[in-house]
Structure 1
């Protein structure tokens, strides 16, 4: 072959010389950025996160913290999986500690700890005997515990004494040391052996520098006639010492060395009362390893947590030994009868912002001890049926919470200290906005006194300043002035805000309480109102609440009659209570932000065809509440018939059919549950299909859909095919699917019985 044949062509050379263009980088997608995915993860449930981790590697890494953020050992998750993902766990619910030793060691980033009864069954803690200790004995125990913790300071002293003297320490400094020791009334204390627990602890914390420095200055003899052990004698030649800097250094070291006993006394109150040298329980060690814990929940009645558990939580956050300095919330169902447990428990409560105790048994101490406690951080307090502690003592604890915002007190039917409680409302809790008194059986007049003491009257002319709409500067000034000055209450209640949440379930709430709630201005601030099973709550009161509380978001009441929703001209109530300038706009419900509404709508004609106009008007009122998530229009139970309100109006309920105005509820796009138990319906397939198509968030329908059982099961199957649960009975999912499941189980049992007999 010729040489010319093997020579590359000019075109080939040119193409080889020209580099091929590099591909453009793929644009970054927003849903692939870890920062955005982490923000999305805050709004996802664990079930949703489980689906997201399977999308891609980026999604897997971003949503792992959401998937493993909360772990419950009761779900029988393999310990190996928990250990491998321990760095993501922020909330841990422990049902049993068997086989979880490594899990407890690896979980070091917890923020919430939930403990159930079985978690305490095999716990071994220090001896906790129920001894009636005298004050002397208790002081001796504290003194011994302080001595055991003093190894931190002894480490300092031991290190200083064992240091070799440097070249700067001349004979003059040695003579000074010898002279001072010889003139001291007693020789200096010998240093204790250095323990392991003293290593690594902060002995120069800023919260102790001032107190230690004060002790050193006082022991130096300057300006003080007394001479401490090993301190410089006041007769020493100070001027000659100042000429020798090395001598001054030695003197300062000597002062710090020989004031160890004084420093121990200064730190006695800050040293935790639990001993790290003693064996601790597994739960106590878990707390010591998790400094980020902010919330602890304990649900146990049979056995109380051990003493080291409570003492670890009782260490004040200012102490360098505090295991969990961020602890702010505690919720419990526990019995505390051991003398050694109750005081650390109460000391722990002084650290909290939120305390929730339900059906606890707390050993009562002297009132003088409770008055010595400071609960100045407490903002939310819930006491529910506490045993072995008197109501007066419970109220005494409440009075020690000046920053209280929310208070729930569930007490027995008799013995509520009304007068003392009202006085506390006026003077002790100026920032209280939430008051919950469930099942207290208070009379109407007693509730009225409590409501009057809860806040001062508020006068607001413009509704937009209360509903959060943009208001002018004049409106804001007017609201601020009237909120704090225009009060018809005693001076002690001036400046107090109105209630945002008020609950008095199963009480005698009636006319006096309603008048106090309205005239004191709470209508303008209420967001949550719960008057469940209050027979004194009249229908006209409910109508005024719906028309006069613009911020109301949750309302649980009694029966609401049709004539008070859409008044007739001959209605006795409206003819007696309306002003001459009354118009139709005054009847509109103003609580446009309502999310939860539970009322028994009744008083319609027993024949819905004869009352279509009022049915339409009531649906129009409900359509205004566009933020509704839960709507209940029936009674509390299907077995209890509604109260007969008279033959003139009837006792029929709201008719959920398109011909009666159901179509107006198309504005309720957020509705998730519709309940009409006690108000039997006669719905059709058309009505059900409309609900499926126009209420996209609907998940549960509770009530009797049709009196005929065949039609009922047909409508239930239609709902279930669209992933909407149909509950026939009150709080019992006995729908068609449940019935079919029961029938299949019965059929299988019959077949098995027949085979065994053969």
Structure 2
């Protein structure tokens, strides 16, 4: 049996630290007996569950087969890995067999962790003991230079050793450091010079919380960027002087700190296809020069930050550069844009869209637009049953359109988006924070999933099979709304008839979106139990965005609806009560349905931050 591909990317959400409970371990045991599941153990499953899997299966030695351990993801939560391995008592040879096959290693942060388990794994598995008589030199050589992907959340000497031994093999590297800690800062400087510069195969680089100084270290970093396909800088202090192409044309042979002169080729990043500048602390021109160097970038994420004070996104300067004939390759290449700034006027926004004719996706992060922005994107007509009246919008034919952290986005705006862009495959909308004056109760009480001409009154409900659904090609739906005031939540003021209408409209999603492969949404409806907003907010430090995911419909109704999504492979299911249990009969259909199920469970009055538990199950087909 072949192992299905693992959804391990450098941009995936960091897993929540969990502690296994007796109830959940027992409930999971039955599912873990599935042969298909064994292929995924060690990829993403939590370490306590991993240990339980090994004991239940009684065939733990099969876990050392080649396809299994090519990826190892460890949440760095509880220091149980050492004890788990001790109980298994593998021989040194079995340790080396497993170590020789690990190619992708991902470790995440826990503020309370002292990294003992992490260092134990690296020391015992990936860094063979030179004094071990049983390990000959050939075996030690084999164990080095094997990692192709490394994602670590901290900078310690063991990581530096790992980088040094895998310089020749790493293709993907993501490191989160701390520029304000002297020990981490020292190691980070080593990474920027000695380590990264020697990684000839490196294609994707992500540096989080780094300081890139002037001088030789900055130059080494810029030279490394020339061969990258993907570059992410997050909360990076960029002091390195990124040479502008215009300045190079005038010559810089004065021996300055840039060390660029007019005899060198212009500073361009010819292979770069994806560029992420997320809150980079730098002079505005350095960010601009770095972006301009990516002449063939297809996916650009730019969360704008300028020191000494945060200013609006320099959209005028961006448009000015795009309008130049020399920027033709950049204009033709850019297919996805994510931008963040304070405000963008209607005129600036229209001009930006005009200059990017091949744009297929736009993600807006916290930016306030003018009143005509949505009209520019969506047009002023209505599309239904294959026909359209009115003027088409710029977003016609796009695959992705998302509004994140946009407090101005309403349910009616979302309705217009979903009923105007028939080609959308990815949609996300999250206002993040809802004030006490918000009148909407739930997302689905304000979005009409029918055409505007149809009535929504309870007395004239249109049968589901007769309701046209425009966005039938959606694959990823990420609607992280909590359109409900806490006062309304606690008092349960929604009439019964409205509650029935909400339930019916929510069902339209499952009936219409048969192609959905990813679903993330949160609605706070009053007929299923009240969840205050503070109980469902999950913080993700890496993105800096406050996010919530979940499904809060009644258990039996929701499961019946979810069973209709035959192509659904990833579900983030958050319920903050003890009703949800993998041992229930209602969950039998999950076997064979999901490649991944993420469930957060916990007491009703304790939120995700205060003790909700997350479990991942890799089940069946995929």
- 1:310 is displaced (CA, Å) by 3.8
Say which one has the larger Rg: 1
Q: Does 1:455 align with 2:356?
A: yes
- 1:545 is displaced (CA, Å) by 1.5
Q: Does 1:543 align with 2:415?
A: yes
How many residue pairs get aligned? The number is: 446
Match of 1:292 in 2: 169
1:22-66 CA-to-partner distances (Å, cap 9, x unmatched) read xxxxxxxx799xxxxx99987654459885899798972872552
The counterpart of 1:108, out of the listed 129, 133, 145, is 145
- 1:382 is displaced (CA, Å) by 0.9
1:398-419 CA-to-partner distances (Å, cap 9, x unmatched) read 1111220111111234142111
Match of 2:520 in 1: 630
The counterpart of 2:230, out of the listed 338, 351, 354, is 354
Q: Does 1:328 align with 2:203?
A: yes
Matches within 5 A, 1:28-39: none
Seen in structure 2, the aligned counterparts of structure 1 residues 449 and 725 have a Cα distance that, compared at 3 Å, is same
Match of 1:599 in 2: 481
- 1:305 is displaced (CA, Å) by 3.6
Q: Does 1:556 align with 2:444?
A: no
2:360–2:400 contact (8 Å) kept in structure 1: no
- 1:564 is displaced (CA, Å) by 4.5
Matches within 5 A, 1:289-438: 290-300=167-177, 301=179, 302=181, 303-305=185-187, 309-312=191-194, 323-333=198-208, 334-337=210-213, 339-365=215-241, 367=244, 368=248, 372-387=266-281, 389-412=282-305, 413-425=310-322, 427=327, 428-438=330-340
The counterpart of 1:90, out of the listed 103, 112, 116, is 103
Determine the C-alpha separation between the residues in 1 that align with 2:451 and 2:105. Answer: 58
Higher percent of residues as strand: 2
Determine the C-alpha separation between the residues in 2 that align with 1:617 and 1:39. Answer: 36
The counterpart of 1:609, out of the listed 483, 496, 507, is 496
Determine the C-alpha separation between the residues in 1 that align with 2:63 and 2:613. Answer: 42
1:422–1:453 contact (8 Å) kept in structure 2: no
1:111–1:293 contact (8 Å) kept in structure 2: yes
Seen in structure 2, the aligned counterparts of structure 1 residues 529 and 569 have a Cα distance that, compared at 3 Å, is closer
Q: Secondary structure at the match of 1:565?
A: coil
2:233–2:276 contact (8 Å) kept in structure 1: yes
Aligned residues: CA RMSD: 5.2
Match of 1:565 in 2: 448
- 1:103 is displaced (CA, Å) by 5.7
Seen in structure 2, the aligned counterparts of structure 1 residues 695 and 614 have a Cα distance that, compared at 3 Å, is farther
Bigger RCO of structures 1 and 2 (CA < 8 A, at least 6 apart): 2
Matches within 5 A, 1:581-600: 585=467, 589-600=471-482
- 1:295 is displaced (CA, Å) by 1.7
Query: Larger deviation: 328-337 or 80-89?
Result: 80-89
- 1:434 is displaced (CA, Å) by 1.9
1:416-474 CA-to-partner distances (Å, cap 9, x unmatched) read 21112124455334222221224x22235377246524633xxxxxxxxxxxxxxxxxx
2:214–2:239 contact (8 Å) kept in structure 1: yes
- 1:355 is displaced (CA, Å) by 0.8
- 1:349 is displaced (CA, Å) by 0.8
- 1:658 is displaced (CA, Å) by 9.3
Determine the C-alpha separation between the residues in 1 that align with 2:590 and 2:75. Answer: 38
- 1:534 is displaced (CA, Å) by 2.0
Matches within 5 A, 1:67-146: 67=69, 69-70=71-72, 77=82, 85-92=98-105, 100=123, 102=128, 106-114=143-151, 117-120=154-157
1:266-285 CA-to-partner distances (Å, cap 9, x unmatched) read xxxxxxxxxxxxxxx85674
5+ residue gaps, structure 2, are: 4-34, 87-91, 108-114, 131-139, 249-257, 380-391, 432-439, 458-465, 536-550, 615-622
2:478–2:521 contact (8 Å) kept in structure 1: yes
1:296-348 CA-to-partner distances (Å, cap 9, x unmatched) read 22322231447665445565xxxxxxx54321011112112262211011101
1:170-209 CA-to-partner distances (Å, cap 9, x unmatched) read xxxxxxxxxxxxxxxxxxxxxxxxxxxxxxxxxxxxxxxx
Seen in structure 2, the aligned counterparts of structure 1 residues 672 and 364 have a Cα distance that, compared at 3 Å, is closer
TM-score, scaled to structure 1: 0.48
5+ residue gaps, structure 1, are: 1-29, 33-37, 124-280, 316-322, 457-495, 575-583, 642-653, 703-723, 738-758
- 1:69 is displaced (CA, Å) by 4.0
1:401–1:429 contact (8 Å) kept in structure 2: no
- 1:518 is displaced (CA, Å) by 2.2
The counterpart of 1:530, out of the listed 402, 415, 423, is 402
Query: Larger deviation: 38-47 or 373-382?
Result: 38-47
Determine the C-alpha separation between the residues in 2 that align with 1:286 and 1:569. Answer: 62
Seen in structure 2, the aligned counterparts of structure 1 residues 60 and 664 have a Cα distance that, compared at 3 Å, is closer
Determine the C-alpha separation between the residues in 2 that align with 1:392 and 1:425. Answer: 16
Determine the C-alpha separation between the residues in 1 that align with 2:609 and 2:426. Answer: 26
Q: Secondary structure at the match of 1:529?
A: strand
Determine the C-alpha separation between the residues in 1 that align with 2:590 and 2:60. Answer: 35
Determine the C-alpha separation between the residues in 2 that align with 1:631 and 1:569. Answer: 23
Seen in structure 2, the aligned counterparts of structure 1 residues 699 and 606 have a Cα distance that, compared at 3 Å, is farther
TM-score, scaled to structure 2: 0.57
Q: Secondary structure at the match of 1:611?
A: helix
- 1:379 is displaced (CA, Å) by 0.7
Determine the C-alpha separation between the residues in 1 that align with 2:353 and 2:586. Answer: 44
Q: Secondary structure at the match of 2:365?
A: coil
